[in-house]
Amino acid sequence: MLNPVQKAIVNDIDLDKLTQLVAEAAITPALGFEVTTRWDGQFRSESSVGPIRFGNGDVVVRDFVIKADEPEEILGSNQSPNPQELLMAALNACMTVGYVAGAAKRGITLHKLEIETKGTLDLRGFFALSDAVPPGYPSLEYVVRIAGDATPEQFAEIHAEVQATSPNYDNLARAIRMEAKLEVSA
């Protein structure tokens, strides 16, 4: 006999809570994030994650620190991932959420999910050695390795959905407006 309060869990995701989250997003869609980064000497930095603010006024306090550094060969101390590695990790992690949620809502159990992203920068852009070379990536290449109890067609559907709905995929795939303000201390 089934327990009447037994929850539908797929890929460690509570489907009732996922459905509730989607329904709430339809009513109050805003979700605000903030990160403050402080220089920590040499090319090291430490970023503190601020609260997440929901459109309905709810606030989720976050207390995480993300460190960044460069390898010694790029004049760092090699204590943490560099900003480019963190950018790719953020992209991969965001898409991972999409693949897991997409599979879970379809009742598909995942056995494996791995995303490998690569890109090559031209340092002439970063060091302003050429006006013809942008400082960023001309492209990023990524491979998704996925396995579970779904057909290739179902995985292709989830793959397309992630490309259409992942915030970080979207942030990197299109130009977003950056609004900068400089405050100089005395």
Does residue 1 lie within any of the structural domains? no
Asked which of 80, 103, 135 is the last residue of a domain, the reply is 80
Q: 39 and 67: one domain?
A: yes
Q: Are residues 98 and 166 in the same domain?
A: yes
- Domain stops at, among 64, 80, 96: 80
pLDDT at position 3 is: 57
Q: Is residue 24 part of a domain?
A: no
User: Same domain for 89 and 73?
Assistant: no
* Residue 4 domain-assigned (yes or no): no
Q: Are residues 167 and 145 in the same domain?
A: yes
Residue 88 sits in the same domain as residue 161: yes
Instruction: Identify whether 99 is part of a domain.
Output: yes
Q: Report the CATH number that the domain containing residue 91 is assigned in CATH.
A: 3.30.300.20
134 and 71 in a single domain? The answer is no
Number of domains in the chain: 2
Q: Encode 100-132: b = buried (16+ Cβ within 10 Å), e = exposed.
A: bbbbbbeebebeebebebebeebeebeeeeeee
Same-domain check for residues 108 and 56: no
Residue 64 sits in the same domain as residue 91: no
State which residues form the domain around 74: 33-80
| 47 and 101, same domain (yes or no) | no
Domain boundary among 54, 80, 106: 80
pLDDT tens sequence for the chain (186 residues): 445 567 899 999 999 999 999 999 999 999 999 999 999 999 999 999 999 999 999 999 999 999 999 999 999 999 999 999 999 999 999 999 999 999 999 999 999 999 999 999 999 999 999 999 999 999 999 999 999 999 999 999 999 999 999 999 999 999 899 999 999 998
Looking at the structure, tell me whether residues 88 and 160 fall in a common domain. yes
Please say whether the beta carbons of 56 and 24 come within 8 A: yes
Residue 70 lies in a domain: yes
**Could you tell me the pTM of the whole model?**
0.92
9 is a domain residue = no
Same-domain check for residues 67 and 132: no
